[in-house]
Amino acid sequence: MTKILVTVKRIPDPDESLKFTGSGLDLSSVKWVPNAFDEYAVETALRLAEDVNNKKSKLAEIIVLSICPQKQRQHMTQFLAMGADRGVIVDADDLELDTAAISKIIAKVAQDEGVDMVITGKLSQDNEGNQVGQRVAGLLGWPQACFAAELDWDQANNALSVHREVDDGVEVKKIPLPAVVSVDLRVVLPSSVRNGVNPADHKFTDGPRLASLRGITMAKRKKVDVKTPADLGVTSAAGESTVGVNKPPGRMAGQMVETVEELVEKLATEAKVL
């Protein structure tokens, strides 16, 4: 059966304000939540694997991989509750690993598991690196389709046709499997993922699905393997290190105007932009 590896991480709640320490961010009391783009990645995999007319038939096994302290796996449990089949945790503080090491860990797990697809979120909302999917593809020598907005799985030809969000519009790229896909926001629109089995006009519920009560109960029984970076032969070389984290300069306070006339007048004479 087709195997899909989905990478997920936890991030500090993006709706909470940041605490600056001078040299970095104070994360000691943050609430950790799943990265939104990783929720899209898991949803993408679930849609690829789902036969909507025959819930008993599954088109793929979904393995969720996270690099995190093994005791802090709430996000992993959530993704298993959404419907992923099993998990792999690489027990490490991901904040201590550089991007190259994280990518090597993922590539090694993908190889060891013999997966057909690696699906990642486009970026993590905290670090915003937007590199891991591309790096994993480079390390494995696999094709890649980044910033995916729509996917068609061509099972007969063992390939994906991917609509990618690029600066000029949308690029359609066909990639043979195995391959790496990084997903963008619009992949979770109702008709964005087609697996060739579901009716062409099938619409999924908008956005990543919520875990059902049954899913939550089932998640506790699903298998989660725990490994260490050393098990996978990966050491971090500190290719990138933090020198400081600062608050961006705020914008100068603006002014409120009362009327459209006043606005246009000020734009023309004060800001000189008209």
Partner 1 sequence: MSKVLVVLETAGGKLRAHCLPGIAAAKQIADARGLPLHLLVLGADASAAAEIAAAGYGAAGVHTIANPALEPFTAEAWGDAIVHATKSLGASVVGGTASSTLRDCLPRAAAILDAPLCAEVVAVKSGDTFTRPISAGRALLDEKLSGEIVFFTARGSEFEPAAAGAAAPVSAIDGVNVDTRGVEVVGIQKTQSSRPALTEADVVVSGGRGMREGSNFKVLEDLTDLLGGALGASRAATDAGMVPADLQVGQTGKIVAPNLYIAVAISGAIQHLAGMKGSKTIVAINKDGEAPIFQVADYGLVAKWEDALPRFVELVQARKG
Contacting partner 1 within 122-181 (CB under 8 A): 122, 125-132, 134-139, 141-144, 146-147, 149, 161, 164-176
Q: Which stretch binds partner 1 (CB under 8 A): 18-26, 59-67, 73-81, 220-228?
A: 18-26
CA 240 to chain CA centroid, Å, is 21
Query: Distance between CA atoms of 60 and 52, rounded to whole angstroms?
Result: 13
Amino acid identity at 156: A
Q: Which stretch binds partner 1 (CB under 8 A): 61-69, 75-83, 209-217, 234-242?
A: 234-242
**Closer residue to partner 1 (CB): 52 or 263:** 263
- The number of beta carbons lying within 10 Å of the beta carbon of residue 117 is 25
Q: Determine which residue in the list 3, 86, 186, 202 makes contact with partner 1, applying CB under 8 A.
A: 186
**Closer residue to partner 1 (CB): 41 or 84:** 41
Q: Which stretch binds partner 1 (CB under 8 A): 15-23, 55-63, 65-73, 210-218?
A: 15-23
User: In whole angstroms, how close is the CB of 67 to partner 1 at the nearest point?
Assistant: 16
239 contributes a contact to partner 1 by CB under 8 A: yes
Query: Distance between CA atoms of 70 and 86, rounded to whole angstroms?
Result: 15
Q: Which stretch binds partner 1 (CB under 8 A): 49-57, 75-83, 193-201, 240-248?
A: 240-248
199 contributes a contact to partner 1 by CB under 8 A: no
Q: Which stretch binds partner 1 (CB under 8 A): 51-59, 76-84, 223-231, 249-257?
A: 249-257
CA gyration radius, the chain: 21
**Closer residue to partner 1 (CB): 77 or 125:** 125
Query: Distance between CA atoms of 12 and 95, rounded to whole angstroms?
Result: 12
268 contributes a contact to partner 1 by CB under 8 A: yes
What tokens were used for 12?
């500090």
Spatial CB neighbours of 203, under 8 Å, sequence gap ≥ 6? 190, 191
Give the β-pairing of 60-68 and 224-227. Answer: unpaired
Query: Distance between CA atoms of 164 and 161, rounded to whole angstroms?
Result: 10
Q: Strand, helix or coil at 40?
A: helix
Amino acid identity at 136: V
User: In whole angstroms, how close is the CB of 56 to partner 1 at the nearest point?
Assistant: 33
Q: Which residue has the tokens 């246009």?
A: 264
14 contributes a contact to partner 1 by CB under 8 A: yes
**Closer residue to partner 1 (CB): 201 or 261:** 261
Query: Distance between CA atoms of 219 and 86, rounded to whole angstroms?
Result: 9
Subset of residues 84 to 123 that bind partner 1, contact rule: CB under 8 A: 98-100, 103, 122
Query: Distance between CA atoms of 233 and 149, rounded to whole angstroms?
Result: 34
Number of chain positions touching partner 1 (CB under 8 A): 80
**Closer residue to partner 1 (CB): 54 or 241:** 241
Subset of residues 44 to 83 that bind partner 1, contact rule: CB under 8 A: none
User: In whole angstroms, how close is the CB of 38 to partner 1 at the nearest point?
Assistant: 13
- Residue pair 128/245 in contact (Cβ under 8 Å)? The answer is no
Half-sphere exposure of 70 (CA within 13 A, CB side): 11
